[in-house]
């Protein structure tokens, strides 16, 4: 079953990419007490993700925060080292990278995709959501191959 607005983020272990190295974090702890703009990409360093998705959140970070977002987080079925390198090369300190290396989060959300045709295995769909104190208040899931509703611009219109 796919997560819906009003649902609580499921309990999973993610790995936060930090300057000190990977740090495990429980989803319930990470999302507690704050408003998070979370976006998911099929993979770090992939074309649309690198050319449009991450840069949009980097460019709009101040505007998102001005509208009440406490933290902007990106997740992908990649390891924390890859996400950390991607954030170092294309992101910013305004983006928190949450590695979902085993796909536990996207599986629990019901938002997996089959990337085997591209040699990527099971990945997370492209989506974004506003999570307020652990509860999903907005959910935007892209149709396969699209990049519209999961963008930073679309999220700004929802806040």
Q: Is residue 5 part of a domain?
A: no
Active site residue 49: yes
3-class state of residue 116 by DSSP: helix
- Candidate list 49, 76, 77, 80, residue with the active-site label: 49
Q: Is residue 42 part of a domain?
A: yes
Q: Is residue 89 part of a domain?
A: yes
Phi, psi of 19 (to 5 degrees): -65, -25
Residue 64 has pLDDT above 80, yes or no: yes
Q: Is residue 1 part of a domain?
A: no
Q: pTM of the prediction? A: 0.94
Q: Is residue 65 part of a domain?
A: yes
Q: Is residue 4 part of a domain?
A: no
Residue-wise pLDDT tens digits, 76-113: 999 999 999 989 888 889 999 999 999 999 999 999 98
Signed CA dihedral, 156, 159, 50, 19: sign only? positive
Q: Is residue 47 part of a domain?
A: yes
Q: Angle at CA 85, nearest 5°, toward 57 and 100?
A: 75
Residue-wise pLDDT tens digits, 118-156: 777 788 999 999 999 999 999 999 998 899 999 999 999
User: For residue 152, how far is the Cα from the chain centroid?
Assistant: 11
């Amino acid at each position: 079953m796919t997560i819906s607005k009003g649902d609580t983020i499921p309990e999973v272990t993610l790995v936060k990419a930090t300057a000190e190295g990977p740090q495990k974090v429980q989803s319930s702890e990470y999302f507690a007490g704050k408003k998070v703009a979370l976006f998911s990409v099929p993979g770090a360093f992939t074309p649309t993700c690198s050319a449009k998705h991450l840069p949009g959140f980097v460019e709009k970070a101040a505007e998102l925060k001005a509208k009440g977002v406490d933290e902007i987080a990106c997740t992908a079925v990649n390891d924390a080292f890859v996400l950390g390198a991607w954030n170092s090369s294309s992101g910013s300190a305004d983006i928190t990278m949450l590695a979902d290396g085993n796909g536990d989060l996207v599986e629990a959300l019901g938002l997996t995709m089959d990337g085997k045709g591209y040699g990527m295995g099971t990945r997370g769909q492209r989506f974004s959501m506003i999570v307020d104190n652990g509860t999903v208040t907005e959910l935007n899931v892209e149709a396969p191959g699209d990049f519209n509703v999961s963008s930073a611009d679309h999220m700004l219109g929802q806040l």
